[in-house]
Amino acid sequence: MIQIPRGTQDILPKDSYKWQYIEDTLKNVCEKYNYQEIRTPIFESTDLFVRAVGDTTDIVNKEMYTFKDKGDRSMTLRPEGTAPVVRSYIENKMYGDPNQPIKVFYNQPMFRYERQQKGRYRQFVQFGVEAIGVEDPLIDVEILSMLMAFYESFGLKDLELHINSIGDFDSRKEYQKALQEHFRPKIDEFCDDCQSRIDTNPMRILDCKTDKNHPLMSTAPKITDYLNDESIEYYEKVKSQLDKIGIKYVEDPSLVRGLDYYTHTAFELMSTADGFGSITTLAGGGRYNGLVEMLDGPAETGIGFALSIERLLLAIEAESIEIENPHTLDLYVVTMGEESRDYASVLLSQLRQKGITADMDYKARGMRAQMRDADRKNAAYTIVIGDNELEEGKVNVKNMSTGEEVAYSFENLEEAIQ
Please give the residue ranges that form the binding site for ligand HAM (CB under 6 A). 80-82, 112, 114, 119-121, 124, 126, 128, 130, 258-259, 281-286, 304-308, 310-311
Binding site annotation covers 17? Answer: no
Shortest distance (Å) from residue 49 CB to ligand HAM: 10
Shortest distance (Å) from residue 194 CB to ligand HAM: 19
Shortest distance (Å) from residue 89 CB to ligand HAM: 12
Q: Which is nearer to ligand HAM, 263 or 308 (CB)?
A: 308
Q: Which is nearer to ligand HAM, 137 or 398 (CB)?
A: 137
Shortest distance (Å) from residue 31 CB to ligand HAM: 19
Q: Which is nearer to ligand HAM, 162 or 182 (CB)?
A: 162
Binding site annotation covers 257? Answer: yes
Q: Which is nearer to ligand HAM, 143 or 347 (CB)?
A: 143
Binding site annotation covers 404? Answer: no
**What is the spatial distance between Cα 155 and Cα 180, in angstroms, rounded to a whole number?**
44
Binding site annotation covers 126? Answer: yes
Binding site annotation covers 81? Answer: yes
Shortest distance (Å) from residue 258 CB to ligand HAM: 6
Q: Which is nearer to ligand HAM, 119 or 133 (CB)?
A: 119
Binding site annotation covers 3? Answer: no
Q: Which is nearer to ligand HAM, 110 or 417 (CB)?
A: 110
Q: Which residue is nearest to ligand HAM (CB)?
A: 304
Binding site annotation covers 249? Answer: no
Shortest distance (Å) from residue 357 CB to ligand HAM: 34
Binding site feature residues:
80-82, 112, 126, 130, 257, 261-262
Q: Which residues are annotated as a binding site for L-histidine?
A: 80-82, 112, 126, 130, 257, 261-262
